[in-house]
Amino acid sequence: MKQPIISFKNVMKTYDGDVKVLKNISFDIEEGKFYTLLGPSGCGKTTILRMIAGFSEPTKGDIYFEGKRINEISSNKRQVNTVFQDYALFPHMNVFENIAFGLKVKHLPKKQIEQKVKEALKMVRLDGYEKRGINEMSGGQKQRVAIARAIANEPKVLLLDEPLSALDHKLRTDMQYELRELQQRLGITFIFVTHDQEEALAMSDEIFVVNDGLIVQSGTPVDIYDEPINHYVADFIGESNIVDGVMIKDELVEFVGHQFTCVDSGMRSNEPVEVVLRPEDLTLTDLAHGKLQVKVDTQLFRGVYYEIICYDEAGNEWMVHSTRKSVPQTVCGLDFEPEAIHVMRFNESEEDFDARLESYEE
Ligand SMILES: Nc1ncnc2c1ncn2[C@@H]1O[C@H](COP(=O)(O)OP(=O)(O)O)[C@@H](O)[C@H]1O
Ligand SMILES: [Mg+2]
């Protein structure tokens, strides 16, 4: 890996001497990628962004920008700009003045400011809106002005703190595409914050799953979806069926009283584990062909598929996504491939998890 643009090394943040908001955060950010910090409200996402921007200092640990320690560097000397959750636009200024503000503070010549504002507006598809008052803009347009103001400064890193959470569903989806496209056009590093797992999966090159002041897992959306490290991640990202099991030996796991071939290995024999199966990897079939016997309980039509809830003999609930309709109260077979079974150890660190996966993927 080339030199990261940003690194956190064992960063901690404590308020009032004892409230640990960030417990021990280390990560590397590579230049030019789209990163997402994903986690529930209060887990520490904004605190991490504020430290990158220079609005807050770590209590312990170090922050590096292009290899230089920047803990004490003030925010206006960092090549970083932020799009805040509430946009933080100046309501008494028009669009031009809002975007030009930071450039005027830097004493750029008037002609250059006009040029940069124009380019920034074009980037967010608001060409010609210079004279509009902020209060005459819709929520989505304000959002774009906030982004234009941030990119007009030509930062190396753009921080976006839940920028889409105030928008309605349709606009939000459109903006997801636009932001992703904007990031690719500008080629700069984006660090995007959200509590919405679908948004994170759709937009990111890399996701950091944050929980309770710690990064619990990092990786590409596909890695995190396919190989969640623990119950928390499996449950938070996507829909999951999670049951208790026992790893009999490599590639053989027992759950719901039966043994199944799987593709996981590297655990102790007879180690208690948790087993994840995604709803889209399950199929309902006739009794003779099922690996488990289930009774269909309820069914909801979700547009592209039916979401079917059934129960096995032991009373575990299973969610199945199927394009075929089923009939509540029928008893049928539940089928899945060995690859669909994902086995998780209790309390495995991300390092040990990665090492174990690598050892049997080779
Ligand atoms: N200035 C502060 N003083 C004390 N506690 C704070 C302060 N700022 C944030 N916190 C606490 O830190 C935790 C993480 O906050 P934050 O980073 O804003 O979470 P998120 O952005 O993930 O919702 C929360 O419990 C919050 O109450
Ligand atoms: Mg926040």
Of the pLDDT bands very low, low, confident and very high (cuts 50, 70, 90), residue 42 is very high
The token pair that represents 158 in the structure block: 């753009």
Q: How far is CA 361 from the centre of its chain?
A: 25
pTM of the model: 0.92
The token pair that represents 53 in the structure block: 């921007």
pLDDT at 159 over 90: yes
Q: 352: closest CA among 266, 231, 244, 227? A: 266
Ligand number nearest to the C-alpha of 161: 2
Q: What is the pLDDT of residues 115-137, one digit of tens each?
A: 999 999 998 989 999 999 999 99
Residue 359 is predicted with a pLDDT of 85
Most informative mutation of 12, 18, 21, 85 for ligand 1 (most atoms within 8 A of CB): 21
The token pair that represents 285 in the structure block: 């079939």
- Ligand 2: distance of its center to the CA of 273 in Å? 33
In percent, the amount of the chain with pLDDT more than 90 equals 87
- Ligand 1: distance of its center to the CA of 137 in Å? 30
> Between the ranges 121-135, 243-257, 340-354, where is the mean pLDDT highest?
243-257
In percent, the amount of the chain with pLDDT more than 70 equals 99
Q: What is the distance between the alpha carbons of residues 195 and 94, in angstroms, rounded to a whole number?
A: 31
Q: What is the pLDDT of residues 273-330, one digit of tens each?
A: 999 999 999 999 999 999 999 999 999 999 999 999 999 999 999 999 999 999 999 9
Residue nearest to atom 16 of ligand 1 (CA): 44
pLDDT at 1 over 80: no
Most informative mutation of 11, 15, 36, 160 for ligand 1 (most atoms within 8 A of CB): 15
- Ligand 2: distance of its center to the CA of 103 in Å? 27
pLDDT at 362 over 80: no
Dihedral pair phi/psi, residue 174, rounded to 5°: -60, -45
- Ligand 2: distance of its center to the CA of 195 in Å? 9
Q: What is the distance between the alpha carbons of residues 79 and 106, in angstroms, rounded to a whole number?
A: 13
pLDDT at 19 over 80: yes
Tell me which amino acid residue 216 is. V
Dihedral pair phi/psi, residue 273, rounded to 5°: -140, 175
CB of 13 sitting under 6 A from ligand 1: no
- Ligand 1: distance of its center to the CA of 19 in Å? 10
Of the pLDDT bands very low, low, confident and very high (cuts 50, 70, 90), residue 101 is very high
Residue nearest to atom 3 of ligand 1 (CA): 15
Q: What is the pLDDT of residues 69-95, one digit of tens each?
A: 999 999 989 999 999 888 889 999 999
pLDDT at 361 over 90: no
Residue nearest to atom 1 of ligand 1 (CA): 15
Residue 31 is predicted with a pLDDT of 97
pLDDT at 170 over 90: no
